[in-house]
């Protein structure tokens, strides 16, 4: 969790998304069209769901996308991923996590 101004903690989530070659926007025109349409709303959706993307990476050969984000809840992450089109073609795993540095402080 990250502590924001005012002292409240904001949970951190990792999102692992995998898809098949057949559903990949690089190869599937339908997925590409829908993803372009919805992903253009990423900033608005992030504001609406109070999402702060810390980082996002992908492995093209494995068809794997990983996001690390701050969000008020698991549900907010789900709604964001739906609104930007990732839930259309990916198998998604969402986990609440914490920074290793924070965990080590408790030892």
Q: At 51, is the secondary structure helix, strand, or coil? A: coil
Place of tokens 């609440």: 96
40 vs 94 pLDDT, higher one? 94
Residues, the chain: 107
User: CB-side exposure of 33: number of CA atoms within 13 Å?
Assistant: 3
Number of H helices, E strands in the chain: 4, 6
The predicted structure's pLDDT at residue 8: 65
Alpha-carbon span 47 to 87, nearest angstrom: 19
The predicted structure's pLDDT at residue 3: 46
Comparing 1-5, 32-36, 44-48, 80-84, which segment has the lowest mean pLDDT? 1-5
User: b/e map of 11-26 (b: 16 or more CB within 10 Å)?
Assistant: bbbbbebebeeeeebe
The predicted structure's pLDDT at residue 71: 98
pLDDT exceeds 60 at position 4: no
User: CB-side exposure of 87: number of CA atoms within 13 Å?
Assistant: 9
pLDDT exceeds 80 at position 92: yes
The predicted structure's pLDDT at residue 87: 94
pLDDT exceeds 70 at position 85: yes
Q: At 63, is the secondary structure helix, strand, or coil? A: coil
Encode pLDDT of 40-73 as tens digits.
899 999 999 999 999 999 999 999 999 999 999 9
């Amino acid at each position: 969790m990250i502590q924001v101004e005012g002292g409240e903690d904001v949970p951190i989530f990792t999102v692992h998304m995998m898809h098949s070659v057949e559903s990949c926007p690089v190869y599937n025109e339908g997925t590409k069209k829908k993803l372009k349409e919805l992903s253009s709303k990423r900033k608005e959706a992030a504001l609406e769901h109070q999402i702060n993307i810390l980082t996002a990476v992908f492995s093209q050969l494995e068809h794997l996308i990983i996001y690390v984000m701050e969000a008020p809840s698991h549900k907010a992450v789900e709604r964001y991923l739906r609104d930007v089109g990732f839930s259309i073609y990916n198998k998604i795993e969402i986990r609440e996590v914490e920074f290793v540095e924070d965990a080590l402080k408790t030892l």
